[in-house]
Amino acid sequence: MCIFGASGHGKVIASILLANKLMVKGFIDDNPKASNLMGLPVIHSKEIKNIAIEKLVIAIGDNKIRKIVSEKLQNEFNTVIHPSAIICKTVKLNSGTVVFQNAVINAEASIGSHCIINTGAIVEHDCVLGDFVHVSPNATIAGNVHIGEGTHIGIGACIIPGISIGKWVTIGAGAVIIKNVPDGAVMVGNPARNIKK
């Protein structure tokens, strides 16, 4: 498997693949100066056509860029789960999603494509996350929450049960969401308020 993105995020995904005893061929990146990361080769993205890649995972934390890259690439994307993650058997995980160390996803949750469920994040029962959502470390999403495409839930944020969050929203670190959030909002504080002008 190859990792698209030679960055800190890529390092963590490589460590998840290695924890699953999977072979990592290397990283693919646009940075011409990078030639090696974690002892693995970095291949320039222009050379991607010259190598045999069966499976690929995108290691780009920025949700918009991850979406653009996924639409340009014509590869099969793998779902990657760290062995320490706890995922109920009734959870639906779509392609390209990565679940980091000690994350928990509970019953009947549905996670879109190319999502990031980061270290120690909790997604409770019956939640629905759209494509390209990033749930940061230690964020907690209570049951029956719906989150739209491209939304970023910041480190340590909390969302109470039954909330709907729109598309391409930014939830700040430590924010507490107690009411529905419209598309494109930037929410900070406790209780969270929209600071986007």
pLDDT tens digits, 4-16: 998 889 999 999 9
Fold classified for 79-188: UDP N-Acetylglucosamine Acyltransferase; domain 1 (2.160.10)
- pTM equals 0.93
What is the CATH class of 2-72? alpha beta
Q: Is the pLDDT of residue 24 over 80?
A: yes
- 139 vs 162: CA distance, rounded Å: 16
Q: How confident is the model at residue 138 (pLDDT cuts 50, 70, 90)?
A: very high
Show me where the domains of the chain are located.
2-72, 79-188
- Quick one: tokens of 45? 């993205």
- 73 vs 38: CA distance, rounded Å: 24
Q: What are 58-113's pLDDT values in tens digits?
A: 999 999 999 998 998 877 898 999 999 999 999 999 999 999 999 999 999 999 99
DSSP character string of 68-128:
HHHHH--SPBPPEE-TT-EE-TT-EE-TT-EE-TT-EE-TT-EE-TT-EE-TT-EE-TT-E
Q: In Å, how far from its chain's centre is CA 166?
A: 17
Dihedral angle, C-alpha 98, 100, 102, 106, nearest 10 °: -20
């320490």: which residue's tokens? 84
Mean per-residue pLDDT for 115-136? 98
- Does 2-72 match 79-188 in CATH topology? no
Active site residues: 125
Q: Which pLDDT belongs to residue 48?
A: 63
Backbone angles phi, psi at 165, to 5 degrees: -120, 130
User: Which range, of 20-29, 34-43, 82-91, 113-122, averages the lowest pLDDT?
Assistant: 34-43
Q: Which pLDDT belongs to residue 32?
A: 62
Percent of the chain's residues with pLDDT above 70: 94
Mean per-residue pLDDT for 35-48? 79
- Quick one: tokens of 155? 């480190």
Mean pLDDT taken over the chain: 92
Instruction: Specify the DSSP element, H or E, that contains 8.
Output: helix 8-19
